[in-house]
């Protein structure tokens, strides 16, 4: 799992002429088992195509890969300064294309924080008192739309090119890259931010970002997303102020429709009381 997936990801990223540092970061991000493996294993056992011992091996592999994943990120961070000094780094065509001046009317320039850029750490955003939104998928896009409607200043950290292009077209400031990377996250100015919103589904990656944010700004309000009680406790223990568990929110909505009663604020498994700065 750790070696095979990481090696395959590294080769693919290098084939597209991204820098080695970028390839290593993506390889580390994929060096753990996917949740879909558990579904396949359960189906295999149910259809008698996989013995229960096989399912246990998959679970053991998942636990080991998850435990090793933070160590791989630490190794990549340790190697990054040396890799950035290597000559001959090539950025992909999309990163070399100019976006245009930030002074054009109705246009907000993206913070060029793509991993592995040759000019060193990316510039920091000029925003202050803003929200940092990590991820702009199904959950993040809804949160972003609400922030925009409320006229609350925010920026988005995202690594999908199509999503970044759409955000720029909509006039939303972006930081391109993986928020788990120190330089990318620093470009979002966490020291001057009011809140951090983690809309990504990976609780382990979110945990690393929570630690980085809390170290940079002890007073920042951190709101995270989780899918299990274990993830809630994990993020709570690392310093998240509010943790929303999606499954409980869905269940609460169903109960309200069935009973016609408002169940009130999220329960303790979904919300964590803000911690003093």
For residue 180, the domain's CATH number is 3.40.50.720
Q: What is the pLDDT of residue 91?
A: 43
* Residue 61 included in any domain: yes
- CA gyration radius, the chain: 20
Q: Tell me, rounded to whole angstroms, the distance of Cα 264 from its chain centroid.
A: 29
23, 51, 84 — which closes off a domain? Answer: 84
Taking Cα atoms as reference points, which of 113, 109, 114 lies closest to residue 123?
113
User: What three-state secondary structure class fits 177?
Assistant: coil
Question: Whole-prediction pTM value?
Answer: 0.57
The Cα 170–Cα 164 span in angstroms is 10
Q: What is the pLDDT of residue 19?
A: 77
Shared domain for 172 and 60, answered yes or no, is: no
* Residue 118 near residue 95, CB atoms below 8 Å: no
Mean pLDDT by 10 residues, the chain (277 residues): 82 84 79 76 87 87 81 78 55 41 41 45 89 96 96 95 93 92 94 97 91 96 93 93 91 88 55 41
Shared domain for 73 and 110, answered yes or no, is: no
Q: What is the pLDDT of residue 174?
A: 95
Please, what sign has the CA dihedral across residues 57, 62, 244, 156? negative
- Residue 13: exposure state from Cβ atoms within 10 A (0-12, 13-18, ≥19): buried
Shared domain for 66 and 129, answered yes or no, is: no
Shared domain for 200 and 118, answered yes or no, is: yes
Shared domain for 35 and 70, answered yes or no, is: yes
Q: What is the pLDDT of residue 42?
A: 85
* Residue 206 near residue 200, CB atoms below 8 Å: yes
Shared domain for 61 and 181, answered yes or no, is: no
Shared domain for 76 and 139, answered yes or no, is: no
Shared domain for 46 and 133, answered yes or no, is: no
Q: What is the pLDDT of residue 108?
A: 43
The Cα 97–Cα 138 span in angstroms is 28
Q: What is the pLDDT of residue 204?
A: 87
* Residue 128 included in any domain: yes
Shared domain for 58 and 12, answered yes or no, is: yes
Q: Tell me, rounded to whole angstroms, the distance of Cα 43 from its chain centroid.
A: 29
Q: What is the pLDDT of residue 150?
A: 96
Shared domain for 176 and 245, answered yes or no, is: yes
Cα-based distances in Å from 204 to 82, 219, 231, 233: 26, 22, 8, 12
The number of distinct structural domains making up the chain is 2
Shared domain for 129 and 254, answered yes or no, is: yes
Q: What is the pLDDT of residue 127?
A: 96
* Residue 146 included in any domain: yes
Q: What is the pLDDT of residue 153?
A: 97
Q: What is the pLDDT of residue 45?
A: 86
26, 49, 84 — which closes off a domain? Answer: 84
- The residue ranges of DSSP E strands in the chain, in sequence order, are 131-134, 154-158, 174-176, 195-198, 221-226, 242-245
Give the domain extent around 191: 104-259
Q: What is the pLDDT of residue 86?
A: 54
Q: What is the pLDDT of residue 5?
A: 82
* Residue 273 included in any domain: no
């Amino acid at each position: 799992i750790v070696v095979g997936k990481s090696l395959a990801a590294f080769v693919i990223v290098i084939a597209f002429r991204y820098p080695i540092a970028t390839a290593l970061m993506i390889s580390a991000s994929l060096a753990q088992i996917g949740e879909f493996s558990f579904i396949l294993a359960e189906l295999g056992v149910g259809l008698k195509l996989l013995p229960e011992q096989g399912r246990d091996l998959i679970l053991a592999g998942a636990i080991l890969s998850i435990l090793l994943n933070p160590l791989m990120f630490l190794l990549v961070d340790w190697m990054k300064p040396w890799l950035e000094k290597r000559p001959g780094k090539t950025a992909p065509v999309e990163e070399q294309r100019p976006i245009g001046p930030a002074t054009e009317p109705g246009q907000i320039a993206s913070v060029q924080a793509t991993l592995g850029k040759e000019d060193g750490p990316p510039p920091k955003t000029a925003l202050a008192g803003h929200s940092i939104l990590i991820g702009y998928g199904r959950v993040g896009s809804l949160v972003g739309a609400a922030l925009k409607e409320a006229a609350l200043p925010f920026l988005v950290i995202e690594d999908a090119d199509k999503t970044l292009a759409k955000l720029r077209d909509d006039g939303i400031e972006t930081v391109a890259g993986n928020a788990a990377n120190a330089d990318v996250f620093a470009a979002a100015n966490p020291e001057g931010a009011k809140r951090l919103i983690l809309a990504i589904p990976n609780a382990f990656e979110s945990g690393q970002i929570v630690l980085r944010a809390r170290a940079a700004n002890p007073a920042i309000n951190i709101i995270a997303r989780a899918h299990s009680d274990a993830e809630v406790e994990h993020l709570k223990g690392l310093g998240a102020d509010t943790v929303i568990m999606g499954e409980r929110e869905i269940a609460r909505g169903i109960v309200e429709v069935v009973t016609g009663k408002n169940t009130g604020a999220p329960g303790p498994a979904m919300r964590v009381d803000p911690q003093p700065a």
